[in-house]
């Protein structure tokens, strides 16, 4: 099933579910008790929002061998974790803003895991029981700031640097699906999730050995090779086979640099 968050001219932001080209509201909490109402709202009159408002966004660096090599580093022997702030999340169609502090903002197309249950020290063999579903993410990165700072909070953490959507797919096998990133229609990244060094259940188990996973938390599973620049006026589209396509325009932030 596909869960969305949406709003219309007359309806406030809320969870919904998708049936072909129509939306139905969802009453209650999608992570525990909920009730689906009739799918009678045409998709074209709704604005889709980021499909989840995560408490935390756990990211995995260098989880594809070819991407590690293009960054000039060896693939890690344990998952390399970092965080993006919840304030970096935007939805489909919202603009990625290029911050004035950076001259090198890049796209990173990634499969995103949405956690559905509270868990700590989750064994790998039980990890998929804690997954609610999957969505598409773009781990937008100010590469120059990431390199300069040595740790990644600033380079990964700007507002608008975590597009998510267009929906959460709950019936999904994450092990061999194509991830494609196009900028202005031109293919930049294309690889299968099969090429991940650490697969989804290992990432969930590993992250839960560090911090408690909570419903709505999101894990970004790393990007394949082919990262490249985003410029003012571009449109970036990340497509994951079996889920859907996440499209965002790119705009320069008009704010002036003061610090
Ligand atoms: Mg990444």
Ligand 1 centroid vs 141 CA: distance in angstroms?
Answer: 8
d(CA 158, CA 147): 15
What's the angle, vertex CA 200, arms to CA 155 and CA 62, rounded to 5?
35
Number of domains observed in the structure of the chain: 2
Q: Is 0.85 surpassed by the pTM of this model?
A: yes
Answer yes or no: do 24 and 91 share one domain: no
Return the HEC string of 113-141.
Answer: EEECCCECCCCHHHHHHHEEEEEEEECCE
Same domain, 109 and 6: no
Residue 255 pLDDT grade (very low, low, confident, very high; cuts 50, 70, 90): confident
Q: Are residues 110 and 204 in the same domain?
A: yes
Q: Say how many Å lie between the CA of residue 29 and the centre of ligand 1.
A: 29
Q: Ligand 1 centre from 89 Cα, in Å?
A: 14
Confidence of residue 71 (pLDDT cuts 50, 70, 90): confident
Q: Do 97 and 189 belong to one domain?
A: yes
Does 81 share its domain with 38? no
| Claim to verify: residue 7 and residue 110 sit in the same structural domain | no
Beta strand pairing call for 162-169 and 89-90: parallel
Asked if residue 193 is part of any domain, the answer here is yes
22 and 71 both lie in a single domain = no
Write the CATH number for 209: 3.90.850.10
**Do the Cβ atoms of 205 and 127 come closer than 8 Å?**
yes
Average pLDDT over residues 65-76: 86
DSSP-derived 3-state class of residue 144: helix
Q: What is the rounded average pLDDT for all residues in the chain? A: 96
Helix (H) or strand (E) holding 83: strand 80-84
104 and 17 in one domain? no
Quote the Cα angle for 121-124-126, to 5°.
85
Q: CA gyration radius for the chain? A: 18
Is residue 108 located within the same domain as residue 37? no
Q: Is residue 259 in some structural domain? A: no
Domain identity same for 197 and 112: yes
Give the tens place of pLDDT for each residue, 146-159: 999 999 999 999 99
| Ligand 1 geometric centre to CA of 137 (Å) | 9
Does residue 126 sit in the same domain as residue 107?
yes
Whether residue 26 lies inside any domain: the answer is yes
Distance 75 CA to ligand 1 centre (A): 14
| Domain residue limits at 39 | 2-49
In a domain? residue 257? no
Q: Indicate whether 85 belongs to any domain.
A: yes
- Distance (Å, rounded) from C-alpha 56 to C-alpha 189? 26
């Amino acid at each position: 099933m596909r869960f969305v968050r949406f709003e219309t001219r007359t309806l406030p932001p809320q969870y919904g579910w998708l049936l072909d080209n129509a939306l139905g509201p969802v009453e209650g909490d999608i992570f525990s008790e909920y009730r689906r109402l009739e799918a009678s709202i045409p998709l074209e009159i709704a604005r889709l929002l980021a499909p989840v408002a995560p408490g935390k966004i756990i990211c995995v660096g260098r989880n594809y061998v070819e991407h590690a090599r293009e960054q000039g580093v060896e693939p890690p022997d344990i998952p390399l974790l970092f965080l993006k702030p919840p304030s970096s999340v935007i939805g489909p169609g919202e603009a990625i803003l290029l911050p004035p502090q950076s001259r090198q903002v890049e796209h990173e197309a990634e499969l995103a895991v949405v956690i559905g249950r509270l868990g700590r020290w989750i064994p790998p063999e039980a990890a998929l029981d804690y997954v609610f579903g999957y969505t598409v993410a773009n781990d937008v990165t100010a590469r120059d700031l990431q390199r300069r700072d040595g740790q990644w909070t600033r380079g990964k953490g700007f507002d608008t640097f975590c597009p998510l959507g267009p929906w959460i797919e709950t019936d999904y096998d994450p092990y061999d699906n194509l991830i494609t990133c196009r900028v202005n229609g031109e293919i930049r990244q294309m690889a299968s999730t099969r090429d991940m060094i650490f697969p989804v259940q290992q990432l969930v188990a590993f992250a839960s050995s560090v911090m408690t996973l909570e419903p709505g938390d999101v894990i970004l599973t790393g990007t394949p090779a082919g990262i490249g620049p985003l410029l003012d006026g571009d449109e970036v589209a990340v497509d994951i086979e079996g889920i859907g396509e996440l499209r965002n325009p790119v705009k320069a932030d008009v704010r002036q640099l003061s610090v």
